[in-house]
Amino acid sequence: MDLIVNFTPTGMIPTKDMTPHVPISASEIAEDVHAALEIGITMVHLHARDEITGEPTYHAEAYGRIIEKIREFSADLILCVSLSGRNFPELEKRSEPLQLTGSLKPDMGSLTLSSVNFNRTASISEPEIIQGLARLMQERDILPELEAFDAGMINYAKYLAHKGLIEGPHYFNLLLGNIACAQPDLLHLGVMIRDLPENSIWSAAGIGNAQLAMNSIAIAYGGGVRVGLEDNIWFDTQRTKLARNADLVRRVHTLAEANERQVMAPATLRGLLGLQAGAGLYGRASSGG
């Protein structure tokens, strides 16, 4: 299978004080997405920021501005909005981007499959909230981007499938290297891949210094990659050079070429995941648009 490149330009943590290269405004994010698309990506995992304070925001209007700008230059790039509980645990806040419709409708929404402890903070996802987000995405024909930080979260995805709240084909981001979760080694990644439900497609991400290693392993092993400043602001493991998003995407292309893998086109992944074709029709293909 061709290589899925899931581009994560912003995230919730990087600030301009940490790195001048992180895109914050809708225009900056769209510019980085455009540059990445010209290099070659398959999909984008979006986080919105308040354009004055730079703080993460859940507001649909903020996501709509980003999506509108991206779809001016790409009608079929797969767009996923973050529904993270890291700053906003409440269902009504986290789900607000799912209200976007028409040409602003996201194809996917992130669904973290359990609560997560990070270095200094926690991202709280109570079972009722996870199920509520899954139900809303199901009602609105938006595909969950399933985020698993350890094997237990994959088991919870199977539970959601058993309850009829998610259905295949599934797309998983496997995130390794967080201090309280699966670590970036072959055994942890292998167990997570083994435990995936049937009809699943996966990409691997590494947190911080683990990004390059996990991207390399995933490319060699036949999976996809998640890459961008959300997960790692440094280009080198010695942390002497701040990365630009384009630097990280180009490096993935170098690895892909060495492994004789082509980057998957958005249209191809749309077909594999049962998404509509784009060009004004977004989300699951079962939707009327």
Strands 122-123 vs 116-117: parallel, antiparallel or unpaired: antiparallel
Structure tokens that stand for 33 in this block: 């997405």
Beta-carbon count within 10 A of 103 CB? 17
Q: What is the tens place of the pLDDT at every residue in 188-223?
A: 999 999 999 999 999 999 999 999 999 999 999 999
Which of the residues in the chain have pLDDT under 50?
287-289
| Contact (CB, 8 A) for 71 and 80 | no
Residue with tokens 């009829």: 164
Q: How far apart are CA 131 and CA 151, in angstroms?
A: 18
Q: What's the CATH number of domain 5-273, 3.40.50.720, 3.40.50.880, 3.40.50.10310, 3.20.20.70?
A: 3.20.20.70
Q: What is the tens place of the pLDDT at every residue in 171-193?
A: 999 999 999 999 999 999 999 99
Q: What's 236's DSSP letter?
A: S
Q: What is the pLDDT of residue 109?
A: 98
Q: What is the pLDDT of residue 85?
A: 85
Query: What angle is formed at CA 131 by the lines to CA 130 and CA 137, rounded to 5 degrees?
Result: 95
Q: How far apart are CA 283 and CA 80, in angstroms?
A: 10
Using a 10 angstrom Cβ sphere, with 0-12 exposed, 13-18 middle and 19 or more buried, the burial of residue 45 is buried
Which of 21, 105, 90, 53 lies closest to 278 in space, CA to CA? Answer: 105
Query: How does DSSP assign 167-193, residue by residue?
Result: -SSEEEEEEE--TTS--SSHHHHHHHH
Which of 107, 160, 158 lies closest to 133 in space, CA to CA? Answer: 160
| Contact (CB, 8 A) for 229 and 10 | yes
